[in-house]
Structure 1
Amino acid sequence: MGAASGDPVPTLVFFHGGGWVVGDIDTHDNYARTLCASTRSVVVSVDYRKAPEAPFPAAADDAIDSVRWATAEVGALGGDPRRVAVAGVSAGGNLAAVAALDARQQGIDLALQVLVYPCIDPVSAYDSMQANAEGYLLSKLEMDWYNHHYSGHDPALARDPRRSPIFADVARDLAPAIVVTAEYDPLCDEGNAYAAKLARAGIDTELLCFPGTVHGFFGFGPDVPSAQQAIRTTCFSIAHKLSRSHEA
């Protein structure tokens, strides 16, 4: 998806959700189109490999490769090389974070990372995982199932930064971040914890924690006003930060 303007525009490399097991670029087409229209960006929607047929690190490797490709080919896409960003929802937020960490190691300057209710840490015990364990669209049991299919139960593997970005060594020159969390989401606290870790490392980090929302709200239609307001706020922030990076 791209802009009709002849001027170079930002490029968002987008990773769909689905627990690394389900979902694809078609199930998340409305997400990509919303980002494209609301942020005036080219959107590269990535169809990465999924578990259990292709368990960890297949999806992480595909995410990393897609960002390396996009940064090399951004000109052909009509994009501005100074404004390449990664974005993802849920498991896709995990992959966006992983790709951002790799980009920094490769000397690739990303303009922004957008992590929407991301799966960041399957190891630690978070209050929201218990408080929102059931009844809010995504359940703790479902997350356990997704985690099992993606990377099994090896404790060492679960702490691999390509699997769990919360365990990565974070440098100050990592891409600026927008971290979006939902109040009634089992993943709320781990997303908040990652935002806090980035901020402590000196990274420009904006945490948007939306009250009254649940996991998956970015795909909700106009009948859910709280979700629509959260989407508008998120997209406005993305557009603002990408515009600011263009002026820098």
Structure 2
Amino acid sequence: MGILEGKRILVAGVTMESSIGFATAKVAQEQGATVLISNFGRALGITRRIARRLPVEPPVLELDVTDDGHLAGLADQVREHVDGLDGVVHSIAYGNPETLLGGKFLDGPWEDVAQAVQVSAFSLKSLAVATRPLLGRGGSIVGLTFDATTAWPAYDWMGVAKAALENTSRYVARDLGSEGIRCNLVSAGPLKTLAAKAIPGFEDLESAWKDRAPLGWDESDHEPTARAVCALLSDFFPATTGEIVHVDGGFHAMGL
């Protein structure tokens, strides 16, 4: 019996097989969960195709977390497949790589910064509110971050967006805690994903991690991060909320 046996989990933001969202959906199924995944727009077709590569092909929902209509209709979409949710995974982020990444911090225009903050941070609150009617006591919301305590090379405004995400998670934890709903984040080291490919200088981060992480680091292995997400979705952390769990080989704890 897996640690998610009988759980109903929505993984929002699954695009490619190389995504953390996909790895999380796979591990969750292997641990006994019934999984739903989501995406929107042109990427929705890709998500429907890669859904077939999971151990059990899950329902694919259309969800744009910046669309109020999509958010309002999410509960009804979910109820077409399951009668509620035990967990929600926020695997969603976006920042325009042409204007916000790769050393463009001082030039980033507000319109693009606002979009990055809305998609990458405000959407955690939006998703929490949209799924709140489906989550009972013991429900768990888990998001994905990249340590925002440091100014990273090339990450620029996405670092600011992740800082906003980390604080948003704490406020969601505060406001939904009385309903027995937890909200936590997993901070992963640099992983080879579609988003990572858009970051100029990403290879420098990979190199630094391999040199300094005491446990070592494999940027192509998404499973350790997925396992941490699934652990937080499970009943093994009943009194943990507002937390950030690092899955980075120990890099965050090391000095020079």
TM-score under structure 2 length normalisation? 0.43
Q: So what's the TM-score if we normalise by structure 1?
A: 0.44
